[in-house]
Amino acid sequence: MTPLPTPRTAALVPAAGRGERLGPGAPKALRSIGGEPLLRHAVRGLLASDRIDLVVVAAPPSGEGLAEVARILSTLRSEAGVSVGEVLIVPGGATRQQSVALALAAVPADFDVVLVHDAARALTPPATIAGVVDAVRAGADAVIPVLPVADTIKSVRPRSETPEAAAAYDTVGQTVDRSSLRAVQTPQGFRRDLLERAHAAAGHDATDDAGLVEALGLPVAMIPGHVEAFKVTTPFDLVLAEAVLAARIKEPPMPAINLPMVGIGVDVHAFATEADLETEPRPLRLAGLDWPGQTGLLGHSDADVVAHAACNALFSAAGLGDLGSNFGTDQPEWKGAAGIVLLAEAARRVRESGLHIGNIAVQLIGQRPKLGPRRAEAEAVLGEAAGAPVRVSAATTDGLGFTGRGEGLTAIATAIVFPTD
């Protein structure tokens, strides 16, 4: 396909259905979840996408329906980050397909890509919307988001067709191989000219727009859909939608752009006392190095506060907990492991969670040992374990506190990580 000349994308939102399967009440798109109509959630999701320049809503065609849709969408204007200059409302039709055709007819000529997105899929995540637009712009003429089918699927042989005259039940026709099946969602994305051709040629009432493209004998590309792009159809779906919204409020969404994330970590250990040293020698391990002749720190591990603070900072940045939750008593294989080994494992877990490590900075607080002369050595050893630059520095506390009195050492660390995609 030759590159599309003017990258302008419109999203059509069929919202004119009555929602019969939802039961009595207002048209489905006007029913609320989280105190807001489904349509408002759906249009907000589209407007918030930097891929969408215009939204055309096919509203319930009654005067009342049109006025209600206009009112619902006008209040989106006051929301930060949502520009609603680019919303058109048209009266919908008797079927979904007619509603889409009416909305399509209202798209100005300079739009080259068109999405069709059910108002009923109100909670579709931004990545799904972006994925569909990007796939069309990358050269697929028609794109649908799909999910594998979880249930075993069987066709029905109606009881009227069973040989026994008085069959009491419908029976199984056959089990369909679900591995070759996909459940189809919206938004579906199209080259505008192709969608127009498909609608003009439509000889049947399809339940989705890709079906009309398929009827032309043309390929429809599939990309991964998302469970949260489910269609609100039955009363149960309203309960599910409320639960999805509630979970989103508890867990603020990750930033849409891949901002780096910073973490903080601390570790403290006491120096061994004369009495401790009488029972067993305690060599000092610090910043991944051995320090012959220096009193060691106490702890079940090697008590390397620098390496441990670095681990805590990494876990903190990645949202993976801390040293205790990662290498605690429930993971006995890490008991007594050297700080440097824990740092290598912490870095591995952070990367496994899909993050790059930018760098780690650790500051040691204490009177001794003098870190300065061995800084480069420490940074090399720690950096190799982390697979990223580790900067080490030190400070004293002017004789104040337990570090000032030489009772122990503290290390404070920061780390920065960022998503790999």
Q: How far is the CB of 130 from Mg ion (least distance, A)?
A: 27
Q: Cβ closer to ligand CTP: 59 or 284?
A: 59
**Residues 92-111 vs ligand CTP: string with x where CB under 6 A?**
xxxxx--x------------
Residue type, 6: T
State in Å, rounded, how far the first CA of the chain is from the last one: 26
Q: How far is the CB of 235 from ligand CTP (least distance, A)?
A: 11
What CA–CA distance (Å, rounded) separates 135 from 139? 7
Query: Site for ligand CTP (CB under 6 A): which residue of 11, 12, 15, 198?
Result: 15
Q: Is 184 exposed, middle or buried (0-12, 13-18, 19+ CB in 10 A)?
A: middle
- Beta strands 188-191 and 142-148: pairing type? antiparallel
Query: Site for ligand CTP (CB under 6 A): which residue of 29, 56, 303, 318?
Result: 29
Residues in contact with ligand CTP, counted by CB under 6 A, come to a total of 22
**CB 12 within 8 Å of CB 107:** yes
The site partner of 359 among ligand CTP, Mg ion, none (C-beta below 5 to 8 Å per kind) is none
**Residues 223-242 vs ligand CTP: string with x where CB under 6 A?**
--------x-x---------
**Residues 115-154 vs ligand CTP: string with x where CB under 6 A?**
---xxx----------------------------------
List binders of ligand CTP among 49-78 (CB under 6 A).
Answer: 58
Binding site for Mg ion (CB under 5 A): 17
Q: Cβ closer to Mg ion: 233 or 353?
A: 233
CA 327 to chain centre: 27
Two structure tokens written together for 390:
């580790």
The helix, strand and coil proportions of the chain, stated in percent and rounded to the nearest 5, come to 35, 25, 40
Q: How far is the CB of 95 from Mg ion (least distance, A)?
A: 8
Those residues whose C-beta lies under 8 Å from the C-beta of residue 269, and which sit 6 or more positions away, are 297, 298, 299, 303, 305, 408, 409
Q: Interface residues with ligand CTP (CB under 6 A)?
A: 14-21, 28-29, 58, 92-96, 99, 118-120, 231, 233
